[in-house]
Structure 1
Amino acid sequence: MTQFPPDVYALIDAAVAEDQTFNDPTTQAV
């Protein structure tokens, strides 16, 4: 697999965290 620098993983983690909040079933925001 390709190795990414730590800051890339930090961005991915932040994106995943945002996705989880946006996908919260109690909110209908897109």
Structure 2
Amino acid sequence: MLLLSYSRKSLFLLFFCVFRYAMQSLLLVF
């Protein structure tokens, strides 16, 4: 269970980083 919770948290962190990178790219384009 602990491993599942950790992987879920890391996945959320990864998604957040990708989202921030996408927003920066959009701001750079526009």
- Please give the TM-score of this superposition, normalised by the length of structure 2: 0.68
Give runs of ≥4 in structure 1 deviating > 2 Å: none
Structure 1 residue runs without a partner (length 5+) = none
CA deviation after TM superposition for structure 1 residue 27, in Å: 3.2
- Using CA pairs below 8 Å that are at least 6 residues apart, which structure has the higher relative contact order? 1
Return 5+ residue gaps in structure 2 as ranges. none
Percent of aligned positions that are identical? 4
TM-score, normalization by structure 1? 0.68
Alpha-carbon distance between aligned partners in 2 of 1:27 and 1:21, rounded to the nearest angstrom: 12
Larger relative helix fraction: 2
